[in-house]
Amino acid sequence: MTMYDVELQNVTKRFGSVVAVDHIDLCVPRGTFLTLLGPSGCGKTTTLRMIGGFEHPDEGTIVIAGQLMGRTPPYRRPTSMVFQNYALFPHLTVAENIAYGLRERRLDRQTIERRVQEMLRLVALEGYGNRYPRQLSGGQQQRVALARSLVIEPAVLLLDEPLGALDLKLRRQMQLELKRIQNQVGITFIYVTHDQEEALTMSDQIAVMNQGRIEQLGPPEELFDRPRTRFVADFLGAANVLTAEVLAADRTSACLALAGGRLVVHEPDLAPGQTVAVVIRPHWLRFARDGDAAVWQGRVTERVYKGATIAYRVELDAVTAVTVEVPTGTGDLLPTVGETVGLAVAPDRVRVVRE
């Protein structure tokens, strides 16, 4: 018995000349909420559909719950999918939709009836069993789709941008709800989205995908605080990406020159003279106070009030400008447009990334 529910090894999928998924490896431990995050066309949906059995890999193997899948059709896989637009059967009632998979499993009527009621309770839709999908709101339809998939007790639940059609408020509410349900049923969820906020809120693990490959896999905090590539830094949250030159380096750290400032970062394997990309999140930067060592001097060109924070645009030199985000209401005296300021950053916050 393996501890992984889903294992992808060297999986590749091509459509004609387009490589949709490019030799990816992925292991999902049992009970994990894993999100495949990336822009459209990055291969996340194809990956999900291969796990579900709707597409078959051209290369590589997929193992689900310890079984090698090969060309096993969807109806013989221990997975279940919540589709992007729910794909509820329009000619069946909510209860019949939920009972669909149970009837395929030849369960007796009482069992089906009981399980359907349990599911309706789980997704907070008691009393809606006799309605048709079109009589429900988007959020309710979403819950029915979830119930319909969960009721057949899959080892892995696949979710293909299930919240995409909902409005922002409902989406936030459903995010929490999905997380609650996942905790309650305890099975593996693989969730596909292009919404980074959604990914950060719900996931135990996030795999950021780009051009058919996984750029980085890890818990949300790790991806956010320690992005390994420029793409990951850009895709998850706002980031200042600057070009720096390595002035000096030893085994554990390096001294970088960027936009006229100097920084020592804890980053191994750099060579003097090398040019690298550096990521600094706007909220890692702060205005240098008296006695604070300013790394850069710059001029404030823009100030945007955002409620909890204020975003500043600061020009460091003729070609480089950075965004700085500072909290409001701290009582600190904040600079105005046109003012010259000093900027500081904690060295352990600065990330050197791959292009």
Partner 1 sequence: MAASNVLLAPPRRLPAAVLLTVLPAFLLLTGFLLVPLLLLALYSVYSTDPVTGLMRPDFTLDNYLRIVTSSVYRRVFVRTVEIAVVCTLIALLIAYPVGYTLGAIVPRRRQPFLLLLVIVPFWTSYIVRTYGWIGFLQNGGFLDSVLSLLLPGTVQLDLLYSRVAVVIGFVHVFLPLMILPIYAITRSLDRRLLEASADLGAPPWRTFLRVTLPLTWPGVVAGASLYFIAVFGSFVTPQLLGGTGDLMIGNLIADQFGEAFNWPLGAALAVVITLVVLVALGIFFRFADLERLHG
Partner 2 sequence: MAERRRFTQSRVRRSSHTSLTTVALTTLTALAYLYLFAPILVVVVASFNASGLTSFPPTGFTLAWYRELLRDGDLLRALRTSVFVAGLAALSTTVLATLTAWGLSRWQSPLRRLLQAYFYLPLVVPGIVTGIALVFWFRRLGIPLGYPSVLLAHVVHAFPYALALVLTAFATLDPRLEEASQDLGATPFRTFWRVTLPLVLPGIVGGALLSFTLSFDEFVITFFVTGQGVVTLPLEIYSRIRFLISPVVNAVAAFVLIVSMLLAVAVQLLVLWRAQRAAAE
Which partner, partner 2, partner 1, none, binds residue 83 by CB below 5 to 8 Å per kind?
partner 2
Q: Does 57 bind partner 2 (CB under 8 A)?
A: no
100 binds, among partner 2, partner 1, none (CB under 5 to 8 A by kind): partner 2
**With respect to partner 2, which residue has the nearer C-beta, 74 or 219?**
74
Q: Does 142 bind partner 2 (CB under 8 A)?
A: no
Based on the shown chain and the rule CB under 8 A, indicate whether residue 83 belongs to the binding site for partner 2: yes
Among 12, 85, 201, 309, binds partner 2 (CB under 8 A): 85
Question: Does residue 306 interact with partner 2 by CB under 8 A?
Answer: no
Site residue total, partner 2 (CB under 8 A): 26
Interface region with partner 2, contact rule CB under 8 A, candidates 4-12, 13-21, 34-42, 46-54: 46-54
Contacted by 41, from partner 2, partner 1, none: CB < 5 to 8 Å by type: partner 1
Contacts of 275 (CB under 8 A, 6+ apart): 243, 244, 245, 246
Residue 199 CB, shortest distance to partner 1, in Å, is 16
Stretch near partner 2 under the rule CB under 8 A, chosen from 79-87, 182-190, 291-299, 345-353? 79-87
Q: Which of 148, 194, 286, 351 binds partner 2 (CB under 8 A)?
A: 148
Q: Which does 171 bind (CB under 5 to 8 A by kind): partner 2, partner 1, none?
A: none
Axis crossing angle, helix 138-150 with helix 94-104, rounded to the nearest 10: 20
Cα–Cα distances in angstroms (integers) from residue 331 to residues 282, 326, 327, 328, in the given order:
20, 12, 10, 8
Residue selected from 80, 175, 193, 229 as contacting partner 2 according to rule CB under 8 A: 80
Helix axes 168-185, 109-122, angle to 10 degrees: 130
| Distance in angstroms (rounded) separating the CA atoms of residues 229 and 213 | 13
**What are the distances in angstroms from CA 177 to CA 180, 198, 204?**
5, 12, 15
Return phi, psi of residue 153, to 5°: 50, 60
Q: Say which entry of partner 2, partner 1, none residue 40 contacts (CB below 5 to 8 A, set by partner kind).
A: partner 1
Q: How far is the CB of 240 from partner 1 (least distance, A)?
A: 29
In whole angstroms, how close is the CB of 88 to partner 1 at the nearest point? 16
Q: Which does 45 bind (CB under 5 to 8 A by kind): partner 2, partner 1, none?
A: partner 1
Residue 350 forms beta bridges with which residues? none
Q: Helices marked H in 19-80 — which ranges?
A: 44-52
- Please tell me the distance from the alpha carbon of residue 320 to that of residue 72, in angstroms, as a whole number: 54
Three-state DSSP state, 269? coil
Q: What is the DSSP letter of 349?
A: G
Specify which residues 209 forms β-bridges with: 214
According to the binding rule CB under 8 A, does residue 81 interact with partner 2?
yes
DSSP string, 118-155: HHHHHTT-TT-TTS-GGGS-HHHHHHHHHHHHHTT--S
- Minimum CB distance to partner 2, residue 224 (Å): 33
Separation between Cα atoms, residue 159 and residue 139, nearest integer Å? 15
Single residue of 149, 193, 196, 216 touching partner 2 by CB under 8 A: 149
CB of 18 to partner 1, least distance (A): 8
Stretch that binds partner 2, among 8-16, 23-31, 52-60, 314-322 (CB under 8 A): 52-60
If one asks whether residue 72 binds partner 2 (CB under 8 A), the answer comes out as no
Backbone angles phi, psi at 122, to 5 degrees: -60, -40
Which residues 117-136 are close enough to bind partner 2 by CB under 8 A? 133-134
The site for partner 1 (CB under 8 A) is made up of 15, 20, 40-41, 45-46, 49, 55, 84, 160
Question: What are the CA-CA distances from residue 266 to residues 195, 219, 275 (Å)?
Answer: 31, 21, 16
> What CA–CA distances, in Å, run from 278 to 77, 153, 229, 239, 317?
44, 46, 10, 10, 17
Comparing CB distances to partner 1, the nearer of 58 and 222 is 58
CB of 193 to partner 1, least distance (A): 11
